[in-house]
Protein backbone atom coordinates (compact mmCIF):
# COMPACT_ATOMS: atom_id res chain seq x y z
CA UNK A 1 0.00 0.00 0.00
CA UNK A 2 1.29 3.44 -0.89
CA UNK A 3 0.91 6.45 1.35
CA UNK A 4 -1.43 9.35 0.66
CA UNK A 5 0.40 12.65 0.21
CA UNK A 6 -0.95 15.89 1.63
CA UNK A 7 0.31 19.12 0.05
CA UNK A 8 0.06 22.45 1.85
CA UNK A 9 -0.08 24.74 -1.17
CA UNK A 10 -1.24 27.99 -2.69
CA UNK A 11 2.07 29.65 -1.83
CA UNK A 12 1.66 30.47 -4.70
CA UNK A 13 -0.83 28.48 -6.75
CA UNK A 14 1.37 28.17 -9.87
CA UNK A 15 4.22 26.73 -7.81
CA UNK A 16 1.81 24.25 -6.23
CA UNK A 17 0.57 23.20 -9.68
CA UNK A 18 4.19 22.82 -10.83
CA UNK A 19 4.92 20.58 -7.84
CA UNK A 20 1.88 18.40 -8.56
CA UNK A 21 2.66 18.15 -12.28
CA UNK A 22 6.23 17.11 -11.53
CA UNK A 23 4.98 14.59 -8.97
CA UNK A 24 2.79 12.99 -11.63
CA UNK A 25 5.58 13.02 -14.23
CA UNK A 26 8.14 11.48 -11.87
CA UNK A 27 5.90 8.68 -10.57
CA UNK A 28 6.55 5.32 -12.25
CA UNK A 29 3.10 4.49 -13.60
CA UNK A 30 1.64 2.39 -16.41
CA UNK A 31 -1.89 3.63 -15.76
CA UNK A 32 -4.03 5.74 -13.47
CA UNK A 33 -4.05 3.25 -10.63
CA UNK A 34 -0.24 3.30 -10.36
CA UNK A 35 -0.23 6.96 -9.36
CA UNK A 36 -0.24 8.19 -5.79
CA UNK A 37 -3.27 9.54 -4.00
CA UNK A 38 -2.67 13.26 -3.43
CA UNK A 39 -4.64 15.75 -1.35
CA UNK A 40 -3.95 19.44 -1.99
CA UNK A 41 -5.01 22.41 0.11
CA UNK A 42 -4.17 25.34 -2.17
CA UNK A 43 -4.94 28.39 -0.04
CA UNK A 44 -3.65 31.66 -1.52
CA UNK A 45 -5.16 33.54 1.46
CA UNK A 46 -2.32 32.40 3.72
CA UNK A 47 -0.54 35.62 4.82
CA UNK A 48 2.63 36.67 3.02
CA UNK A 49 5.56 34.73 4.46
CA UNK A 50 8.18 37.32 3.54
CA UNK A 51 6.27 40.14 5.25
CA UNK A 52 5.71 38.03 8.38
CA UNK A 53 9.39 37.14 8.77
CA UNK A 54 10.30 40.80 8.29
CA UNK A 55 7.88 41.73 11.08
CA UNK A 56 5.51 43.60 8.77
CA UNK A 57 2.62 41.18 8.55
CA UNK A 58 0.46 38.50 10.13
CA UNK A 59 2.01 35.14 10.92
CA UNK A 60 0.93 32.38 8.55
CA UNK A 61 1.53 29.74 11.24
CA UNK A 62 -2.17 29.27 12.22
CA UNK A 63 -3.14 28.90 8.56
CA UNK A 64 -0.38 26.39 7.85
CA UNK A 65 -1.33 24.38 10.93
CA UNK A 66 -5.02 24.45 9.93
CA UNK A 67 -4.12 23.17 6.47
CA UNK A 68 -1.97 20.41 7.95
CA UNK A 69 -4.72 19.31 10.32
CA UNK A 70 -7.30 19.36 7.54
CA UNK A 71 -5.15 17.23 5.29
CA UNK A 72 -4.49 14.79 8.12
CA UNK A 73 -8.22 14.49 8.82
CA UNK A 74 -8.84 13.95 5.10
CA UNK A 75 -6.54 10.93 5.09
CA UNK A 76 -3.02 12.16 4.37
CA UNK A 77 -0.26 9.89 5.64
CA UNK A 78 2.61 12.26 4.79
CA UNK A 79 2.76 16.06 4.52
CA UNK A 80 4.82 18.42 2.38
CA UNK A 81 4.74 22.17 1.84
CA UNK A 82 5.23 23.57 -1.68
CA UNK A 83 6.98 26.72 -0.47
CA UNK A 84 10.51 27.15 0.85
CA UNK A 85 9.94 30.26 2.98
CA UNK A 86 6.94 28.72 4.75
CA UNK A 87 9.36 26.21 6.27
CA UNK A 88 10.26 28.88 8.82
CA UNK A 89 7.14 27.51 10.56
CA UNK A 90 7.76 23.81 9.89
CA UNK A 91 8.13 23.09 13.60
CA UNK A 92 4.61 24.45 14.19
CA UNK A 93 3.27 22.11 11.52
CA UNK A 94 5.16 19.10 12.88
CA UNK A 95 3.93 19.75 16.42
CA UNK A 96 0.30 19.94 15.29
CA UNK A 97 0.00 16.60 13.48
CA UNK A 98 0.71 12.94 14.17
CA UNK A 99 1.84 12.15 10.61
CA UNK A 100 5.34 12.78 9.19
CA UNK A 101 6.24 16.11 7.60
CA UNK A 102 8.94 16.00 4.92
CA UNK A 103 11.05 19.19 4.91
CA UNK A 104 11.88 20.77 1.56
CA UNK A 105 14.78 22.62 3.20
CA UNK A 106 16.41 19.55 4.73
CA UNK A 107 15.97 17.39 1.64
CA UNK A 108 17.35 20.10 -0.67
CA UNK A 109 20.32 20.80 1.61
CA UNK A 110 21.05 17.06 1.70
CA UNK A 111 20.98 16.93 -2.10
CA UNK A 112 23.24 19.97 -2.33
CA UNK A 113 25.76 18.43 0.06
CA UNK A 114 25.62 15.13 -1.83
CA UNK A 115 26.43 16.93 -5.09
CA UNK A 116 30.02 17.32 -3.92
CA UNK A 117 29.97 21.08 -4.35
CA UNK A 118 32.13 22.96 -1.85
CA UNK A 119 30.46 26.36 -2.27
CA UNK A 120 26.74 26.47 -2.93
CA UNK A 121 24.86 29.56 -4.07
CA UNK A 122 21.41 30.21 -2.66
CA UNK A 123 18.66 31.84 -4.70
CA UNK A 124 15.83 32.33 -2.22
CA UNK A 125 13.11 34.79 -1.32
CA UNK A 126 13.60 37.51 1.27
CA UNK A 127 11.86 35.55 4.02
CA UNK A 128 13.92 32.40 3.58
CA UNK A 129 17.03 34.57 3.40
CA UNK A 130 16.07 36.56 6.50
CA UNK A 131 15.37 33.36 8.42
CA UNK A 132 18.61 31.86 7.04
CA UNK A 133 16.86 28.60 6.27
CA UNK A 134 19.35 27.36 3.70
CA UNK A 135 22.35 29.13 5.17
CA UNK A 136 21.99 27.27 8.45
CA UNK A 137 21.15 23.98 6.76
CA UNK A 138 24.26 24.13 4.56
CA UNK A 139 26.52 25.11 7.47
CA UNK A 140 25.21 22.11 9.42
CA UNK A 141 26.32 19.96 6.49
CA UNK A 142 29.76 21.53 6.30
CA UNK A 143 29.19 23.47 3.09
CA UNK A 144 30.10 27.07 2.33
CA UNK A 145 27.44 29.27 0.75
CA UNK A 146 27.05 32.56 -1.04
CA UNK A 147 24.07 34.61 -2.12
CA UNK A 148 23.06 37.75 -4.00
CA UNK A 149 24.04 41.17 -2.71
CA UNK A 150 21.29 43.46 -1.42
CA UNK A 151 20.68 45.27 -4.73
CA UNK A 152 20.55 42.03 -6.72
CA UNK A 153 18.24 40.52 -4.09
CA UNK A 154 15.76 43.35 -4.56
CA UNK A 155 15.84 42.75 -8.32
CA UNK A 156 15.40 39.03 -7.74
CA UNK A 157 12.32 39.61 -5.58
CA UNK A 158 10.81 41.80 -8.31
CA UNK A 159 11.25 38.82 -10.64
CA UNK A 160 9.61 36.42 -8.17
CA UNK A 161 6.56 38.66 -7.79
CA UNK A 162 6.38 39.05 -11.58
CA UNK A 163 6.34 35.26 -11.92
CA UNK A 164 3.64 35.05 -9.25
CA UNK A 165 1.64 37.52 -11.37
CA UNK A 166 1.93 35.17 -14.34
CA UNK A 167 4.85 36.69 -16.24
CA UNK A 168 7.14 33.99 -17.63
CA UNK A 169 8.36 36.03 -20.57
CA UNK A 170 11.86 35.88 -22.02
CA UNK A 171 12.94 39.14 -20.29
CA UNK A 172 12.03 37.60 -16.92
CA UNK A 173 13.84 34.39 -17.80
CA UNK A 174 16.90 36.30 -19.00
CA UNK A 175 17.04 38.34 -15.80
CA UNK A 176 16.80 35.19 -13.68
CA UNK A 177 19.59 33.58 -15.71
CA UNK A 178 21.73 36.67 -15.17
CA UNK A 179 21.43 36.39 -11.39
CA UNK A 180 22.34 32.70 -11.54
CA UNK A 181 25.34 33.39 -13.78
CA UNK A 182 26.54 36.15 -11.44
CA UNK A 183 26.55 33.72 -8.52
CA UNK A 184 28.47 31.16 -10.55
CA UNK A 185 30.99 33.83 -11.54
CA UNK A 186 31.42 34.60 -7.83
CA UNK A 187 32.57 31.03 -7.18
CA UNK A 188 29.50 28.83 -6.78
CA UNK A 189 30.00 25.14 -7.61
CA UNK A 190 26.26 24.48 -7.43
CA UNK A 191 23.09 26.53 -7.19
CA UNK A 192 20.04 25.95 -4.99
CA UNK A 193 16.77 27.12 -6.52
CA UNK A 194 15.34 27.85 -3.10
CA UNK A 195 12.03 29.36 -4.14
CA UNK A 196 9.32 27.34 -5.85
CA UNK A 197 8.73 30.07 -8.45
CA UNK A 198 12.31 29.78 -9.78
CA UNK A 199 11.76 26.52 -11.75
CA UNK A 200 8.98 28.27 -13.65
CA UNK A 201 11.59 30.47 -15.38
CA UNK A 202 14.99 28.79 -14.85
CA UNK A 203 16.03 25.31 -15.97
CA UNK A 204 19.13 23.18 -15.46
CA UNK A 205 20.43 23.79 -19.03
CA UNK A 206 20.44 27.53 -18.27
CA UNK A 207 23.43 27.22 -15.92
CA UNK A 208 26.89 25.66 -16.06
CA UNK A 209 26.83 24.10 -12.57
CA UNK A 210 24.37 21.67 -10.97
CA UNK A 211 21.01 23.34 -10.39
CA UNK A 212 19.44 21.82 -7.29
CA UNK A 213 15.74 22.62 -7.59
CA UNK A 214 13.95 22.31 -4.28
CA UNK A 215 10.73 21.32 -6.06
CA UNK A 216 12.39 18.46 -7.92
CA UNK A 217 14.26 17.24 -4.85
CA UNK A 218 11.12 17.13 -2.73
CA UNK A 219 9.17 15.40 -5.51
CA UNK A 220 11.74 12.60 -5.68
CA UNK A 221 11.89 12.18 -1.93
CA UNK A 222 8.14 12.20 -1.34
CA UNK A 223 7.61 9.60 -4.07
CA UNK A 224 10.25 7.36 -2.45
CA UNK A 225 8.61 7.79 0.98
CA UNK A 226 5.09 7.27 -0.29
CA UNK A 227 6.00 4.10 -2.18
CA UNK A 228 8.26 2.64 0.52
Q: How far apart are CA 100 and CA 19, in angstroms?
A: 19
Q: Is 83 a catalytic residue?
A: yes
Of the candidates 9, 77, 76, the one whose C-alpha atom is nearest the C-alpha of residue 44 is: 9
- What is the rounded average pLDDT for all residues in the chain? 97
* Residue 195 is among the residues annotated as catalytic for this protein: yes
CB of 105 closer than 8 Å to CB of 137:
yes
* Residue 91 scores a pLDDT above 90: yes
Would you kindly state where each structural domain of the chain is located, as residue ranges?
5-103+216-227, 105-214
**Which overall architecture, per CATH, does domain 5-103+216-227 show?**
3-Layer(aba) Sandwich (3.40)
How would residue 138 be classed by pLDDT, with cut points 50, 70 and 90? very high
Query: Binning pLDDT at 50, 70 and 90, where does residue 46 land?
Result: very high
Does domain 105-214 match CATH 3.50.50.60? no
Which ranges of the chain does DSSP label H, i.e. alpha helix? 13-26, 49-53, 61-74, 90-96, 104-114, 126-131, 133-140, 150-164, 170-185, 214-227
Could you say which of 40, 83, 201, 226 is catalytic? 83
Q: What is the pLDDT of residue 219?
A: 98
pTM for the complete prediction? Answer: 0.95
Angle ∠(64,69,73) on CA atoms, nearest 5: 150
Distance CA 192, CA 122 (A): 5
Using alpha carbons only, what angle is made at residue 94 by residues 88 and 95, rounded to the nearest 5 degrees?
Answer: 110
Of 46, 195, 202, 218, catalytic: 195
One DSSP character per residue, 7-63 reads EEE-SSHHHHHHHHHHHHHHS--SSGGGSPPEEEEE-TTSPPHHHHHTTSS--SHHH
In whole angstroms, give the CA distance from residue 187 to residue 185: 5
Q: What is the pLDDT of residue 1?
A: 84
pLDDT for 187-209, tens place per residue? 999 999 999 999 999 999 999 99
Amino acid sequence: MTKTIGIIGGLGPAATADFFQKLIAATPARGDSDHLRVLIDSNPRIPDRNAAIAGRGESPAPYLVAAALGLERAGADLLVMACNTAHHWQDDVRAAVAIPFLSMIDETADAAAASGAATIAILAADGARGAQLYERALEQRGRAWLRLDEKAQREFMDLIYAVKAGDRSEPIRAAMRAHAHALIASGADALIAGCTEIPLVLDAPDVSVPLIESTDVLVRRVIARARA
